[in-house]
Amino acid sequence: MKIGELAERTGLTTSRIRFYERIGLLKSVERQNNGYRSYPDDAVLVLKLIATGQSAGFSLDELRTLLPRDLANWEHGTLLDTLSRKVKDIEALQAQLAQSKAQLVELMGQIEAKPQDMDCAANARRVLSEMRLAEAEMPPISTRARRRH
């Protein structure tokens, strides 16, 4: 199939398809005598896998190592291990984001708790002072990191 049809079937632009070919993610491309690219039917699947992988957070380098040259030779165990590692990475990121969100919500609460007779600059000093006290009471970062593992 020609690149226009492949683009239509995958929802990708022709420039994106050429890019994937140039960086080695799309490998089974042949050139016809007239110079046109000719793609096999499984190129649709490969491109959809690449798009899905990128949406799931895989980098192009990760996808390059994950995708086999021939889809029939995909190593089941390796694929599952890679996907499992990505799930763990996402879970760690979610935990980090949840912690960051909790800190920001706490900070917002402290800022909103400004006494009515206090101006914003004094409130900022009050909040910063409370933050310094909280930091002083926390164990060092290396200790906190060990507790999570």
Residue 46: name the closest of 23, 62, 68 by CA: 68
What is the C-alpha separation between 124 and 115, in angstroms, rounded? 12
The 8-class DSSP code of residue 139 comes to: P
User: pLDDT by residue (tens digit) across 55-99?
Assistant: 988 999 988 888 877 777 777 888 888 889 889 999 999 999 999
Percent above pLDDT 90 for the chain = 37
* CATH 3.90.950.10 is held by the domain 3-73: no
SS (H, E, C) 57-116: CCCHHHHHHHCCCCHHHCCHHHHHHHHHHHHHHHHHHHHHHHHHHHHHHHHHHHHHCCCC
Position 142 scores a pLDDT of: 54
Tally of CB atoms within 10 A around 28: 15
Q: What is the residue-averaged pLDDT of the chain?
A: 86
Position 98 scores a pLDDT of: 96
The phi, psi pair for 107, rounded to 5°, reads: -60, -45
Q: Which amino acid is at 109?
A: G
pTM for the predicted model, two decimal places: 0.62
Position 149 scores a pLDDT of: 47
